[in-house]
Structure 1
Amino acid sequence: MIRVLLVDDHPVVRAGLKAMLEDPSEDPGTVPDIQVVAQAADGGAALDELRRRQTLGDPVDLVLMDLQMGAGMDGVSATRAIRGGDAGVQPVPVLVLTTYDSDSDILSALEAGASGYMLKDAESQRIRAAVRSAAAGETALAPEVAARLVGRLQNPVPQLSAREVEILELLATGLSNTALARRLFISVATVKTHLVHIYAKLGVDNRTAAITAAVQKKIIRVPDA
């Protein structure tokens, strides 16, 4: 039995996901093998629940993690803590299940150590299969996500670095060059150098056009979307 900790800030969504995960009716010939044994509304609560269960000797096999959860700890931060063994948490596989499919979200989650990345509009059978794969130590990617990653590798157009994507995300929040420099602990001159490279790679000449192009190409998503 695969024991799952389900992390999402919407109780109705958690209830629907629990019912779907524990229902094998759409998997002919498959016995029930997934059980949601715990739930949490944000990343911080998930870490608390993992610590509690590990202390009791009742750990989970997989964390099914949303990315954005209101004012609570986000999914990427929680994934990084879980996979890094931070704060007394023993590492377990984390499968991201979200509505977001921008490059920045995908790369951030995978760099944080997520074993897979699935979208909430996927067929239930595919999500259950991803849970099984991730719990077994395999990589589980939605076809759309895999295609985007392959496209990044095959596309000869210069790709934005992780730092450049981070700067774009902050630009989209309206930060000035000075504020960006302070946030990232770099000089204003370094920020300007990054912007020059970003503009060149996106084929634009100003920050508004850069943000627009990045959103259209799904490099970043619209802030607060």
Structure 2
Amino acid sequence: MAERRLPPVVARMWGRETTPRHGPRPSLDLARIVAAAIHVADRDGLEGVKMSSVAAEVAMATMSLYRYVGSKDELLIVMADAAVPEPPAYDGGNWRAYLTGWTRANRDFLLGRPWLLALNQHTPPTGPRSLRWLDRALAALAGTGLGYGERINIAVALTNYAARQAAMVHAMTGTATAGSEAIAGLTEYGDILGEVLDPEGYPELTAAVRENAFGSADQWIDDADFTFGLNLLLDGIQALMTRGRD
């Protein structure tokens, strides 16, 4: 079977791109350009990442960047992978303990770089770092009797949970990305609900608002809240394993 030609951006991330033998030697490499782009995103948010702003960071002409990356969209894809840390090491231990730490680490790096939330929802992981996260999750579930399809679905569900929790924290603490119309904290959120809710149509939610259930950020961003939801997911995974054995 003929070898499939990789999309250019994937080839770049994996170092599989063919380099020309002739012509001047490039003065930069993709890693330095991506590091500069990540620096801009950390400083100015995703809106600040433009080919011109990245070029200014590395002191080169904007058009020169296209020798290393085909477009801004390709640059964003590479950034989304390069900005991800290495996953927690898997030592062959208990699947539940590992996936607890794995999901928490996933949530934590998104808390540190909220602009990743906007990038990761638009493209499946194709870079080496992102795929290592998936590989380690599959490895932790290898001895559970679950098939590859089930294990991938579990990894996706936990990844989505981590992202949703990180997005909730950013929204409720006023640290959402610049330019968004995010609600500035839980107190404002509760005030808005109090204005729009009809007690007849939403009796329980109205009662929760009147009890100031949204008035304390601790109820949403405290680690106990994250752990509670994560345990629900892990309990579901355990039940799936039990049904498989039965």
- TM above 0.5, yes or no, is no
The structure with the larger Rg is 2
Give the structure, 1 or 2, with the largest relative contact order (CA under 8 Å, sep 6 or more): 2
What TM-score results when the alignment is normalised by the length of structure 2?
Answer: 0.33
What TM-score results when the alignment is normalised by the length of structure 1?
Answer: 0.35
| Structure showing the higher helix proportion among its residues | 2
| Structure showing the higher strand proportion among its residues | 1
